[in-house]
Amino acid sequence: MTGTLFRNVRLFDLDTPGGMSPRRDLRVANGHIAEIASALEPGAGEIVIDGNGKLLMPGLINGHFHSAVNHMKGRLPSLPLEVFMLYECPELDVLRPTPREAYLRTMLGCIEMLRSGTTSVQDDCFFVPAPTPEIIDAVAQAYEDSGMRVRLALDQPEVSELDKLPFLRDLLPEDVRRALAKPAGAPATELLSLYDHLITRWHGAADGRIKAAVSCSAPQRVSPDYFVQLDDLSLRHDLPFYAHMLETRLQRVFGDVCLGGRSLVRYTHDLGLLSERMNVIHAIWVDDTDLDLLADAGAMVAHNPNSNLRLGSGVMRWRDMHDKGIPVCLGVDEAIADDAINMWSVMKTAASIHTLSHWDYELWPSAQEVLRAATQAGGRAMREPGLGTLCRGAPADLILLDLNALPFVPLNNLPRQLVHCELGQSVRMTMVAGRIVARDGQVATVDEAALLSEAAAFFAGKQKAMDLADARMAQLLPYYRDMYELAGQHNLSLERRLPENLR
């Protein structure tokens, strides 16, 4: 692969007060950062990029994402998670995608991320109604073609709908209860053989840019046996393990009602499955004991503040997690619950929302903390040494920002302006593994215009099927609403939303 030399460029450096180095030269070779010095001579055949007036920083890392709904941005109103999921991912055959559809929707996300400077993603991809090797291949192929770095998991519940939620069983009429009591579309044996396919065919593909991860979706959405087997898979191949935990009040209530008073974090701990490979997603309704268990296990937390606000889930305990040494990365969650796939807006919300949690303003997040969460903590979550840093030997996943663009004029404080002013419009170049994949707001790896026009036409044709699915799921809405109300009335000793009596 041709090397690249960035000359006279400011380097992102959170350890310096201004957040960046004096002008430097940085050499990329064999997909990695090879050399950094005050002056370097170009080698034969090397691409030379003038970095005058520019900032070179690590590409942003989308630490949690579900690409399966990239085509559904803006489709649903703001709803609580349990009602939202009723419409988001029903196991209906009418929604079964073709491989081309899965490819197109994945590519929509890749284009949006690469253009705005997100170079890596942890795709906790779910499959409606169930995964197949062809659809897995289509998703992975889109990542290969786009040039993005990805960890790809199969986020597939394996127990019945009734086992995943509190109260619902008792609220349903007999015929509906019977229908919802049947197990999920794919049993554990089938899911494990699909993991075999994912790992054999794709783990380490595209020179290591594409790698597998493991997902249980959430502890209450799988049987303990399957949960243990997934952990074993994660251990054997050293794969990140994704698990949504305590995203909502209802999930906290689930522990009281269905797990004998144990939280989902405690339940996972009791199974012996909390580990440093685990990415605990959301972790909003945690108590102090849960935080200690996460800290002791060395688990990561993936924080998705835009999604948490869009779905009314609550506010995570940012400062408490940092105080306990729990690493926190940032994520979009998904294009139906953010609904932009833009890590800059995620950073801005993360930096802003946690000011509400403490009267003591010295406990509020700093811009540096938020930037570290979106870069090096993401690399740690992905289990990729050096990813998200500009260290020598780190993967060359880099973005070049124009310091003469409006978010930085005048330049008062780089870290704060990156977090609070920038939305991706100043990104002039995106590089992944040493290859330039986007330039001046256009993806260089695929025919963006042709893909967007094909996707617009394709998904316009899918609207009828999606409307049909909505209408079918709406029949269940009264029962889900009752379940949600019961969870709201259940007494809890913790609160993660604004108290309503302060109106």
Task: Tell me how many degrees the CA angle 342-418-420 measures, rounded to the nearest 5.
Answer: 80
Minimum CB distance to Zn ion smaller for 247 or for 402: 247
Smallest distance, Zn ion to C-beta of residue 75, A: 16
Minimum CB distance to Zn ion smaller for 60 or for 153: 153
Minimum CB distance to Zn ion smaller for 333 or for 397: 333
Smallest distance, Zn ion to C-beta of residue 58, A: 23
**Please, which contacts does 81-86 make with residues 24 or more away whose CB atoms are closer than 8 Å?**
81/247, 81/248, 81/250, 81/311, 81/313, 82/165, 82/248, 82/250, 82/480, 82/483, 82/484, 82/487, 83/477, 83/480, 83/481, 83/484, 84/311, 84/337, 86/473, 86/476, 86/477, 86/480
Cα gap 120→151, rounded to integer Å: 8
Smallest distance, Zn ion to C-beta of residue 218, A: 9
* Residue among 247, 267, 242, 271 at smallest CA distance from 256: 267
Beta bridge partners of 281: 244, 302
Minimum CB distance to Zn ion smaller for 161 or for 333: 333
Minimum CB distance to Zn ion smaller for 89 or for 396: 89
What DSSP string runs through 400-438?
A: EEETTSGGGSS-S-HHHHHHHT-SSTTEEEEEETTEEEE
Please give the structure tokens belonging to residue 167: 């109260």
Site string for Zn ion, 296-335 (x = CB under 5 A): -------------------------------------x--
CB distance 139 to 65 below 8 Å: no
| Cα–Cα separations (whole angstroms), residue 294 to 64, 287, 298, 332 | 18, 11, 6, 22
Smallest distance, Zn ion to C-beta of residue 281, A: 5
Minimum CB distance to Zn ion smaller for 301 or for 443: 301
Minimum CB distance to Zn ion smaller for 68 or for 394: 68
Cα gap 258→279, rounded to integer Å: 23
Cα distance from N-terminal residue to C-terminal residue, the chain = 61
Size of the site for Zn ion (CB under 5 A): 1
Smallest distance, Zn ion to C-beta of residue 304, A: 7
Smallest distance, Zn ion to C-beta of residue 333, A: 5
Smallest distance, Zn ion to C-beta of residue 66, A: 6
Minimum CB distance to Zn ion smaller for 123 or for 333: 333
Smallest distance, Zn ion to C-beta of residue 456, A: 26
Minimum CB distance to Zn ion smaller for 108 or for 400: 108
Beta bridge partners of 118: 60
Minimum CB distance to Zn ion smaller for 303 or for 380: 303
Binding residues among 333-362 for Zn ion as defined by CB under 5 A: 333
Smallest distance, Zn ion to C-beta of residue 10, A: 35
Strands (E), 180-277: 210-212, 214-217, 241-245
| Cα–Cα separations (whole angstroms), residue 39 to 6, 22, 242, 389 | 10, 12, 43, 21
In the bound complex, which residue of the shown chain has the CB atom lying closest to Zn ion? 333
Please give the structure tokens belonging to residue 413: 């404080």
Smallest distance, Zn ion to C-beta of residue 334, A: 6
CB distance 406 to 413 below 8 Å: no
Tell me which residues touch Zn ion (CB under 5 A).
333
